[in-house]
C-alpha cells in the first residue's frame, strides 16, 4: 500500500470510525454486573502463560528439554547438556529454545483457545491475512522516524553489551540469518499475544483501555534490560497497541518490531567494529 496524505487521511477516518464502533460494542456486549467468561479466560490464560514463560521460557531454562527426550534416551541430562551447553552451536540452540517457548505460549496456546473454546476466527484477534489494508508505507515512515534514536543508542555501552543477544551473529552470514529468523519468530508471537490476544480479547468490554492493560505486562518483560529501553517500551506498548486496536491488525507491529530489532543488531555490531557499516 503506498503512503500519501490521502491514504493517511483515509486511514485516520477509518480508525476513528473503528474506535467509535468498538466503544459501542463494549457498552452493549454484556449487561453491567454480568460476568463475561471469555474476558475472564483471556485474563487468566494471559497470567498463566506469562508466568510459565518467566519460569521455563528463558534461554537458561533449556534443561526442561530433558522431559521431551526422556522416553528416547538412557541419560537425558547428558544428551541435552551436550546439545545446549557443550555444542559449538549451544548458544543459538538456547536462543531457539527461548524463541520456541515464546511461540508456543504466546501464539500456539492462545490460537487453540480461540479456535476450540471461543469459536472465533483469528481475524477477530488482530490476525487478518496481510493485504492492501495493511499500511506498510505508514509503518515505514514510523521506522525511519525511530531509526536515528536507535543509531544514537547503539554507541552506548549498555546497548552494546546487550545486542545482539546472539554473540556469534557476526561469525558468518548463516549465523546472522538463522539468528534473525529465530528473533523474528519470537517477535511475531509476542505481537500476537500482547497486541492481538490481549487487546482484541478485552476490547469488547474495556474498549480503548485494553491498550493500557496489555501495555503493563509488556513493559514488565523488559525488566533487566537497559533502563531507556524499558521506559521506551511504555511508549512502544501504547503506540503499537493503538495501531493494532484501530487497524484491527498486528501486522504493523510485527513489521516494526522485526525491522527495528534488525537495525539494533546491525548498528550494535557496527559500533563495536565487528562489521564494517560505519
Please report which helix (H) or strand (E) contains residue 68, including its range: helix 66-69
Decide if 218 contacts 187 (C-beta within 8 A).
no
Q: Round to whole Å and give the CA distance between 228 and 192.
A: 24
- How would you label 66-94 residue by residue, b for 16+ Cβ within 10 Å and e otherwise? beeeeeeeeebeebbbebbeeeeeebbbb
Could you tell me what percent of the chain has a pLDDT over 70?
Answer: 87
Counted residue by residue, the chain has a size of 278
Pairwise pLDDT comparison (109 vs 153), residue with the higher score:
109
Could you tell me what percent of the chain has a pLDDT over 90?
Answer: 72
Longest dimension (CA), the chain: 66
Please report which helix (H) or strand (E) contains residue 191, including its range: helix 173-191
Q: Round to whole Å and give the CA distance between 90 and 80.
A: 10
Give the pLDDT of residue 35.
85
What is the per-residue pLDDT across 240-265, written as a single tens digit (0 to 9) for each?
A: 999 999 999 999 999 999 999 999 99
Task: State the cell numbers at 172.
Answer: 558468518
DSSP-derived secondary structure letter, 89: T
Q: Round to whole Å and give the CA distance between 213 and 237.
A: 10
- How would you label 229-244 residue by residue, b for 16+ Cβ within 10 Å and e otherwise? beebbeebbbbbbbbb
Report pTM: 0.86
* Residue 32 three-state SS: coil
Of 191, 157, 174, 212, the C-alpha closest to 261 is: 191
Q: Round to whole Å and give the CA distance between 152 and 243.
A: 26
DSSP-derived secondary structure letter, 131: S
Give CA angle at 182 (77, 254), nearest 5°: 140
Is it the case that residue 162 has pLDDT exceeding 50? yes
Of 100, 105, 51, 48, the C-alpha closest to 220 is: 51
What is the per-residue pLDDT across 60-83, written as a single tens digit (0 to 9) for each?
A: 999 999 999 998 999 999 999 999
Amino acid at each position: 500500500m503506498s503512503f500519501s496524505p490521502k491514504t493517511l487521511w483515509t486511514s485516520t477516518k477509518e480508525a476513528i470510525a473503528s474506535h467509535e464502533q468498538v466503544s459501542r460494542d463494549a457498552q452493549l456486549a454484556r449487561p453491567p454486573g454480568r460476568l463475561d467468561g471469555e474476558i475472564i479466560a483471556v485474563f487468566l490464560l494471559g497470567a498463566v502463560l506469562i508466568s510459565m514463560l518467566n519460569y521455563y521460557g528463558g534461554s537458561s531454562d533449556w534443561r526442561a528439554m530433558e522431559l521431551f527426550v526422556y522416553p528416547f534416551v538412557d541419560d537425558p541430562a547428558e544428551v541435552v547438556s551436550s546439545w545446549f551447553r557443550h555444542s559449538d552451536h549451544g548458544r543459538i540452540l538456547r536462543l531457539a529454545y527461548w524463541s520456541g517457548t515464546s511461540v508456543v505460549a504466546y501464539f500456539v496456546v492462545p490460537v487453540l483457545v480461540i479456535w476450540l473454546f471461543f469459536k472465533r476466527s483469528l481475524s477477530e484477534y488482530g490476525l487478518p491475512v496481510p493485504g492492501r489494508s495493511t499500511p506498510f508505507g505508514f509503518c515505514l515512515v514510523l521506522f525511519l522516524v525511530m531509526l536515528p534514536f536507535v543509531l544514537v543508542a547503539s554507541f552506548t555501552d549498555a546497548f552494546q553489551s546487550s545486542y545482539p543477544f546472539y554473540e556469534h551473529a557476526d561469525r558468518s552470514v548463516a549465523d546472522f540469518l538463522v539468528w534473525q529468523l529465530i528473533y523474528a519468530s519470537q517477535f511475531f508471537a509476542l505481537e500476537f499475544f500482547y497486541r492481538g490476544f490481549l487487546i482484541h480479547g478485552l476490547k469488547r468490554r474495556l474498549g480503548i483501555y485494553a491498550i493500557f492493560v496489555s501495555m503493563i505486562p509488556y513493559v514488565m518483560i523488559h525488566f533487566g534490560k537497559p533502563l531507556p529501553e524499558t521506559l521506551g517500551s511504555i511508549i512502544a506498548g501504547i503506540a503499537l497497541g493503538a495501531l493494532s486496536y484501530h487497524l484491527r491488525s498486528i501486522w504493523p507491529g510485527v513489521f516494526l518490531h522485526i525491522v527495528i530489532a534488525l537495525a539494533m543488531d546491525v548498528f550494535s555490531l557496527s559500533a563495536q567494529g565487528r562489521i564494517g557499516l560505519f
